[in-house]
Chain A
């Protein structure tokens, strides 16, 4: 009896480990920690939504916004890291953004938005699998005019992604990045022009 219980427990533990390892093995996953993020500075916001939390978000959205619910149910993970950029750290974040951008380019990600202005830096890339978008990475650094200070945001969305709804999802999850909204609008424009 005891050996059966031990066997069942081991199987459950292995199944749980495999389920979590699953997202990290997917093509759309990017491990930001590999690029030196968080070594010298803790994120001010860290969000990790996987498994049951995403399932719940999809269920909750289903009633109010069926499309969004459908999109969320296709996702496997949403990871957000926000850092405050102080006087010491901009160079470090700049380096991290460059390393991640370079890694994405080398591993078959397509850049869809790249902004490099005096007070803003953004890079949005998607990972395709055939016709489907299976991953999205948003790297954004923004200079604020107020006292709050500059912020740098790293977002990785893993799973089946619908570009036309990504901005709406960003709002839903409080991911406040201008480039995501413009992506949303551009995708809708593309859809409209296609239908004409």
Chain B
């Protein structure tokens, strides 16, 4: 390979890496650390942090949609999402008494244009689901779940109306489904 061709390949590789949209979920990590630091007995270790959007998501989307051609549910879920961010911590020592500070941090971190849809604290599981709408459509969802050994934050962006509609049609009770899907 001559030098100029090598340069082009390198440039394309670097460009692909930087434009792939596959990074650490930095803003969710920040929210996660703020929450966990506010819980006095929490012990935690970051396990996963990933943010998939842009080209990486486009690639994954195409693969998933061609593999699961006949699955309407998967087609809708994957086809309407534009970005997924996930951060997972191995965590323990978070209790119901920590709900108020956690709720306040999540709210403050998300901002005023986000609304709390569901919050539950049952059977040692804590869940918060917020959404952000734009022109009467759901554009982003933020889900925070603690279930005794894991603390998870998920952020979804895209045309979530269609996803929610399919989820509601396919699966029974509304809030129950939302909470269980969050878990």
Stretch at the interface among B52-60, B73-81, B113-121: B113-121
> Restricting to A44-61, which residues have a CB under 8 Å from any CB of B?
44-53, 55-57, 59-61
Q: Is the CB of B113 within 8 A of A16?
A: yes
Cβ of B169 within 8 Å of any chain A Cβ, yes or no, is yes
Chain B neighbourhood of A19, CB < 8 A: 136
Known: A42-B96, A44-B122, A53-B164. 17 other contacts (CB 8 A): A19-B136, A42-B100, A43-B119, A43-B121, A44-B120, A45-B121, A46-B118, A46-B120, A48-B118, A51-B136, A52-B133, A56-B138, A60-B164, A171-B173, A173-B173, A174-B174, A174-B175
Q: Is the CB of B99 within 8 A of A42?
A: yes
Number of residue pairs spanning A and B whose beta carbons lie under 8 angstroms apart? 74
CB < 8 Å: which of B100, B122, B138 contacts A53?
B138
Task: Give 22 A-B contacts (CB < 8 Å), ordered by A residue.
Answer: A20-B115, A42-B96, A42-B99, A42-B121, A43-B121, A44-B96, A44-B120, A45-B175, A46-B119, A47-B175, A52-B131, A52-B161, A56-B138, A56-B165, A57-B174, A59-B165, A59-B168, A60-B169, A61-B168, A80-B175, A172-B174, A173-B174
Question: When chains A and B are docked, how far (Å) is the Cα of A20 from the Cα of B136?
Answer: 11
The 7 closest A-B pairs by CB, nearest first: A60-B168, A46-B119, A42-B99, A44-B121, A60-B169, A56-B164, A45-B120
Q: Is the CB of A57 within 8 A of B168?
A: yes
Chain A neighbourhood of B173, CB < 8 A: 171-174
Chain A neighbourhood of B96, CB < 8 A: 42, 44
Chain B neighbourhood of A51, CB < 8 A: 133, 136
Chain B neighbourhood of A50, CB < 8 A: 115
Cβ of B108 within 8 Å of any chain A Cβ, yes or no, is no
Closest CB of chain A to B58's CB: distance in Å? 26
Cβ of B176 within 8 Å of any chain A Cβ, yes or no, is yes
> Restricting to A32-76, which residues have a CB under 8 Å from any CB of B?
42-53, 55-57, 59-61, 63-64
Chain B neighbourhood of A49, CB < 8 A: 117
Chain A neighbourhood of B176, CB < 8 A: 174
The range of chain A's interface size is 20 to 34
Cβ of B19 within 8 Å of any chain A Cβ, yes or no, is no
Chain B neighbourhood of A47, CB < 8 A: 117-119, 175
Closest CB of chain A to B2's CB: distance in Å? 48
Chain B neighbourhood of A57, CB < 8 A: 168, 174
Closest CB of chain A to B135's CB: distance in Å? 8
Closest CB of chain B to A85's CB: distance in Å? 14
Chain A neighbourhood of B164, CB < 8 A: 53, 56, 60
Closest CB of chain B to A46's CB: distance in Å? 4
Closest CB of chain A to B5's CB: distance in Å? 44
